[in-house]
Amino acid sequence: MAALSNLLYLIRNTADPTERQRYLATAEEQLNRASEVTKQTLSFVRRESPMEPVNLSDLVEAVLAFYSNRIQGKHITVERSLTAASAFASRDQVRQVLNNLVANALDALSTSGTLHVRLRTSSFGSRPVARLLVADSGSGIEPEYLRRLFEPFFTTKDTVGTGLALWVAKQIVDAHGGCIHVRSRVGKGTVVVVCWPSTGEERVPQVLAAHSAQQA
């Protein structure tokens, strides 16, 4: 907004038409950026979906389906390794985290790369957790950028990135008592691991199965 006000001031006080065009183009870029920032922030704040057991593999499929055009357009291979796992979470917020991670992976991938999504149940101390991994064989991240990834507005995508997606993802994961980690190697790719407190519900069918077997 500050940049926009400055640009408007310059446009008003510049007689040279070429300069004015340049300022106008920059103002347009800044406006698009402000609109993206607003969208991200609002979608974060607006979410009030209740905490409930969320089937993560269904959600992964829904997000991959959402991005299917981009995936096909770039000839990206998707490798899934999904076991039944549920998080005790706000469905819309989990979806937003997943969306943001898959979007980043797709941005980083060039044609014919691989996107890998893996879902497992695990435990953190005595707590059951669902561990979700999103990995890409894309550009990777420079070591000096790694510790800045979760800062608001940190982006390497100039005017097309807001630098809010990972920050929002971290706020959401932290609010759920989960964790998020990134590993990356330039030219090799990036792995993001998110753990969500789990309901442990995926064990229920097994318990029931054992119970039914005993009854029989």
Ligand X SMILES: Nc1ncnc2c1ncn2[C@@H]1O[C@H](COP(=O)(O)OP(=O)(O)OP(=O)(O)O)[C@@H](O)[C@H]1O
Binding site for Mg ion (CB under 5 A): 104, 165
CA atoms within 13 A on the CB side of 14: 15
Under rule CB under 6 A, residue 30 binds ligand X: no
Under rule CB under 6 A, residue 66 binds ligand X: no
**Sign of the CA dihedral with 105 first, then 107, 109, and 111 last:** positive
Q: Is 98 exposed, middle or buried (0-12, 13-18, 19+ CB in 10 A)?
A: buried
Considering only 56, 60, 91, 138, the residue that binds ligand X (CB under 6 A) is 138
**Kind and range of the H or E run holding 122:** strand 114-124
CB of 162 to ligand X, least distance (A): 4
Under rule CB under 6 A, residue 156 binds ligand X: yes
Pairing of strands 114-124, 77-82: parallel
The rounded radius of gyration (Å) of the Cα atoms in the chain is 21
Under rule CB under 6 A, residue 55 binds ligand X: no
Residue nearest to ligand X (CB): 161
Per-residue x/- mask for ligand X, residues 174 to 213, rule CB under 6 A?
A: ----------------x-----------------------
Q: What's the count of helices (H) and strands (E) in the chain, helices before strands?
A: 8, 7
Residues of this chain that interact with ligand X (CB under 6 A) are 36, 100, 103-105, 107-108, 136, 138-139, 141, 149, 154-157, 161-167, 190
